Amino acid sequence: MATGKINVSVENIFPLIKKFLYSDHEIFLRELISNATDATLKLKHLSALGEANVDYVNPFIEVKINEENKTLHVIDQGIGMTKEEVEKYINEVAFSGAEEFLEKYKDSAKDSGIIGHFGLGFYSAFMVANKVEIITKSHKDEPAAHWICEGTTEFTLEEGNKETHGTEIILHINEEDKEFLKENRIQELLVKYNKFMPIPIKFGTKEETLPLPEDAKEDAKPETKTVDNIINNPEPAWTKQPTDLEEKDYNEFYRELYPMQFEEPLFHIHLNVDYPFNLTGILYFPRMTQDMNVQKDKIQLYQNQVYVTDNVEGIVPEFLTMLRGVIDSPDIPLNVSRSYLQADGAVKKISSYITRKVADKLKSLFNNNREDFEKKWNDIKIVIEYGMLSEDKFFEKAEKFALYPTTDGEYYIFSELEEAIKENQTDKDGNMVILYASNENEQHSYIEAAKNKGYKVLLLDSPIVSHLLQKLETSKEKISFVRVDSDHVDNLIKKDDEKISKLSDEEKEQLKADFEKVIPAEKYTIQMEAMDSNAAPLIITQPEFMRRMKEMQQTGGGGGMFGMGNMPEMYNLVVNTNHDLINTILNTKTEKKQQRLIKHSLDLARLSQNLLKGEELTSFIKRSFDMVK
């Protein structure tokens, strides 16, 4: 038997491991399963090269609990280690067996799926165990080795009695970590981290119901049999070629990823690239809502089929974090940190590639079946609009598939929209004015007035639309977006023909003074406008710029950058000087009656803009009933 000291540069690494190596102790099982997978894949690779002394025949990894002995066992049928290799790979923490293996076989091992994180990964076992044993036998014809360490730099190493190749790790679990001796806890961790590992993982047994034979009697009861409980699916959909998968395969994998999701995804994007980095995966577009809060079911990041995290910011562009699915890349380390992601060049390339791939897929879906794409637009627009706002490259590509729906149910891409409206919606200065509504019901009367003029009105109701419009206006020449209720229809698109007022300048001045006695100046700016006599007598509008800045402030950004703080609600009150009611107000002899008419007309205008609420609304309704009586 040999004894010795583990060769580490710090006097005692174990407190550091327990405190700093991983923030979450449960990660130890992922690391040990990863190492077992490495060892098995190494044997597979050497067998393929004819360099292994044993056959590679359907191996599996087994996890066992012995609650009585307070031990947890991880057993593989992989390459195993000699006594010398245990000395080198276990006792010299700075080495990584997988890294050396990859170096030796760098050309042929490129695609063998070896993780390359043996060294410190193994020592994560000491986060939950006060004693760890390794019993291992190499595929080479050499005796087994038995290594024991009790969480100090001291170890013992002696000949073992294992007769088959592979390695068994035995963890003597700490009293404070005895949760890891419970079957349901280990099952939960294996499903979380190892659900798609490339080697089958056995954890106990389960009962399986056998199908009834065709000639079985009606009251026959199905038989059951005990089978191995295999935790994982070693060949998940993303590891296969898209040509080998059908739509139902993608949908079944979606349900495997998210068992609690009952709706089918709208469509998927299969990622598969091997240069200039390795990346595979499948992204799904779920049915979206207007709520931009973080989705409960997120994209999962894997490294060679080992689960790493579902915090993929930095790897996936922010606008795509609303999607679901899987990304797998050996170029991302198991122990991901935000600072690493921000600094790493490969990660930035991955993010850029995913953006491009998603844009290309959306363009393809639009081109191949535009009608279906239009039907799905409301369910995906929030992602696309957010992408246009946040990623310039995506913004450029989105020209070919981003849709602009109208209140009449038509869908245009931007170039088609320009063609459809340029003749009728260009103002006297040569600017094309794009009218839009954000709420069809609340802005119904304004929409109808615009449509009666032959104008097209877009329906843009996403929460980020004010930010996006700002970007569209700055990226294109001589266009402006104007919400349909921001002014009287005649003023939305200024033409050369001006309406003549029935009132003289003196009468307009008098009328304005009468209104100012009743209308609070801190809320309304009063404008006298000559409009059609059949237009409303009073119209409340909010200037496009002010309203848009306020919306941008509410959804983050915008208002702050213009130093507006919490902007007060300010409206324009447009008085139609050609309406009969306005003429009546002007010529009313008693001040009391005149003020009552102004106030009631104002309340009607406020009601049309959904601005009349609470006590004022109650008072208005009572007053209206009194007038009816």
9 assigned ligand-binding residue:
no
The answer to the question of whether 31 is labelled as a binding residue is: yes
Rounded CA gap, 165 and 144, in Å? 8
Phi, psi for 261 (deg, rounded to 5): -90, 120
CA distances from 121 to 17, 30, 32, 111, 464 (A): 10, 9, 7, 22, 44
364 is known to lie in a ligand binding site: no
Per residue, what are the HEC states of 445-478? HHHHHHHHCCCCEEECCCCCHHHHHHHHHHHCCC
What's the token pair of residue 269?
């994007």
Tokens at 429, concatenated: 């200065």
CA separation (Å) from 112 to 108, 234, 598, 623? 8, 14, 82, 82
Q: What letter represents residue 102's amino acid? A: L
- Asked if 117 and 31 count as a contact pair (C-beta separation under 8 A), the reply is yes
Q: 67: annotated binding-site residue?
A: no
35 is in an annotated binding site: yes
**Shortest CA distance to 89 belongs to which of 78, 79, 100?**
100
Q: State the first-to-last Cα distance of the chain, in angstroms, to the nearest integer.
A: 108
**Helix (H, G, I), strand (E, B), or coil: what is residue 147?**
strand
CA distances (Å), 110 to each of 125, 169, 627, in order?
28, 27, 86
In angstroms, the CA 529 to CA 502 distance is: 10
> Reduced to 3 states, what is the DSSP secondary structure of residue 31?
helix
Q: Say whether 167 counts as a known binding-site residue.
A: yes
CB 486 within 8 A of CB 542: yes
Q: Is 339 annotated as a binding residue?
A: no
Q: Is 121 annotated as a binding residue?
A: no
Distances (CA, A) of 356 to 285, 320, 349, 351, 458: 16, 12, 11, 9, 28
Residues of each annotated binding site: 31, 35, 76, 81, 96-97, 167, 338
Residues of each annotated binding site for ATP: 31, 35, 76, 81, 96-97, 167, 338
